[in-house]
Structure 1
Amino acid sequence: MIASIGGAIIAGRVLTRPLRRLAATAQQIHLGIFDLDPLPDSGPSEVVTTNKAFNDMASTLKGVEAKTIALATEDVSHSELQKSLPGRTGQALQVAVDKLSASMRERERQSQLLHHSATHDGLTSLFNRAAIFDFLTHDVERRRNAGETVGVLFVDLDGLKYLNDTYGHEAGDAAICATSEALIEAASPCDVVGRLGGDEFLIVLCHEHGQESEASAAKMRDAVGRRSIPVEGKLIPLSASVGLALAECDVNTDPMDLVRQADDAMYNAKRAARATRDQLLGN
């Protein structure tokens, strides 16, 4: 009788301690604490089986929490999203995570496409009118704070109307694209090139000195002048007129005034080129 009672007490202790640990673990899981020390895998088989189930559950919930946090960052390349979780729950969750990640990647791709369409010219892929003006405005503000000079080039492709009227708009588009390629190649890595529309382009220079900006203007003009487009079995040479505006940035510097000054300089250059050509032709 005494032996039976002693055995029951010992058995009770053997079961009570693991059950207390199990209860404490369950309480922590209930509170949302999943980063737990694993329950021991020793003792009666029933206790070991229960502990293993709780360990797997805690591990799965910890993984779910980590994936949820990773998804909240909207970083679909996060390493946590690539980790698989045990059991059917883990597999089902991974399928859901993969689908959600794919959806987020597609959303990001669409967002990038929309942003590109909103800020870039559809024909040349240069900055469009709004984007290049926005860049110029911010660049003037930055240079104003730094006490720097800003330079702007206004480029006009010569003879675009003639090309469109004589050979069609396909030839005109080819000339616009060839001009944009020439400007990009001639630009320095820190220059920003945009298309205003039609035959007009704007370049925000990164040079601070007049001589460098004047050299850039000549380089742009010469780069376009070396281009030609094939039309109806012949090559049509291209040319462009370029105007430069420079200003030391202060509180009175208006980005649109700079554009107008560069535009005026471009027309002066175009008139001078026509006068020189007429003089050479004896007109």
Structure 2
Amino acid sequence: MRQFWKLLHFTVMTVLVFAISFMSLTTAVSVPSDQIFQYIEEHQNEYVQRLKDWVAIESNSNDPAERHLVTNMMLLAEERIRKLGGTVEMVDLGMHELPNGNKISLPPVILANIVKDQKKPMVCFYGHMDVQPAKIEDGWSTEPYILTEKNSNLYGRGASDDKGQVLAVLNAIEALQKHELPVNVKILLEGMEEVGSIRLSMLVEQRNSTFFSDVDYIVVTDTAWLSNKPGITYGTRGNCHFFLEVQCAKRDLHSGALEEYYMKQ
């Protein structure tokens, strides 16, 4: 069995545990895990093919020349969510001014809903569809945008940051829907996380009293892998950042020898 599938299976089980835990707060309906996991086993090849299709899109948000590929990736994610019965809003964030003064469109942000029962808790899943640049000459042993099986593992840019995790959530929703989705789901997907999530905070603030107003829980899919198990972030402490500008000498200096002299010049 593919090692990736073991990871994906664990991710689905983890999401299922979350769902059952949330469900227990408001309803006594149970989810037959044996049926769910049988469905997963029967569809594992489809899950891997979906990941292959997603990895193949070079959605590198660092390169303005590839910005259209990020948008294509967002459209592919939109299509998958709609197939799950979700309603999707593709939010336009406007233009992005580049350092050279040129302006290009930011990729849309996905705000999606899969709501079946207003009495059930609302869980919002966050993820991102963009990736860091990758080239074979960077040290990859396989082509980064071709999902490759090697030594029982699957390799590809974005397979674990963050396309693989997002797909694991969507695959879990699909499997759960074959019986009953125990929670209502909202999905927030962006395409600029690798370059600072441009204007995402503005959107979240704008939709705080609308899209996010009924959210009971938020699950971050963009997390680290602990050994061969994925981590799920259920609490964050926020962050703080600043810019520091340092003025240095106009020429290279040997450490510890001439700095004081040249800094006075």
* TM-score normalised over the length of structure 2: 0.23
| Greater share of residues in helix | 1
How does the TM-score come out when normalised to structure 1?
A: 0.22
Highest relative contact order (Cα 8 Å, sep 6+), 1 or 2? 2
